[in-house]
Amino acid sequence: MNKIVLTLLILFLSATVSFAQTDETKRQKGVRSSSNSFYINVLGPTIPGSLNYERIWTKNGVLNIGTKIGGFFINLPKLDKLTIINGTAECTFIFGRSAHLFEMGIGWAGHYGNYFSEEDGVTKHYAVPTSTFSMHYRYQKPKGGVFFHVGFTGSSILMFGSTDLVEMAAGNAAIYGFKGLTGEKPSFSLFSIGVGASF
């Protein structure tokens, strides 16, 4: 896992540097560039995706810091009254001065779902919070326009919540049993791609 992360980091930084050398439009320190983005993300910190808003707060030129929030909601009454709600919040670190950037993010995501169990005659509720780490190649012109990023997001499962106490106990026993064996909570990585607009 660490080798994959290191390899991707080197590739992203190399691409950022090479593109930056050929792009004439640069971000300037103290000058506000496109700092707002709305975009749709597929996979990443929330499954199956999310609608996101991001704000870049700094005007540092090479390294800028932003925050993003996003979420997903679907209700399928014909499928066991299934409801899925996901949300994410992240701090992003954006490297580069041209339209071609390298992006890293750390944050949190929450996953909630419920459905009607015909077997038990009740609606069951589930919640899974995760911590997240992401790395992306990012295309965003200083003057705004099309926003695009592609990369991956790693997520660590923090706990398992359920209105069924037996299921909740079993889920958390599995999480902490895994941590006892490996020293880390269960984690997974997903491909991530986002498209939208910045201004």
pLDDT over threshold 50, residue 180: yes
pLDDT value, residue 20: 44
Q: Which residues constitute the domain of residue 35?
A: 2-198
Domains identified in the chain, total number: 1
pLDDT value, residue 50: 96
DSSP summary character for residue 24: -
- Tell me which residue of 94, 78, 67, 90 sits closest to 12, measured CA to CA: 94
Confidence of residue 10 (pLDDT cuts 50, 70, 90): low
Confidence of residue 14 (pLDDT cuts 50, 70, 90): low
- Tell me which residue of 134, 108, 145, 128 sits closest to 193, measured CA to CA: 134
Reported as a single tens digit per residue, the pLDDT across 60-77 is 889 999 999 999 999 998
Domain containing 173 — which CATH number?
2.40.160.20
pLDDT over threshold 60, residue 78: yes
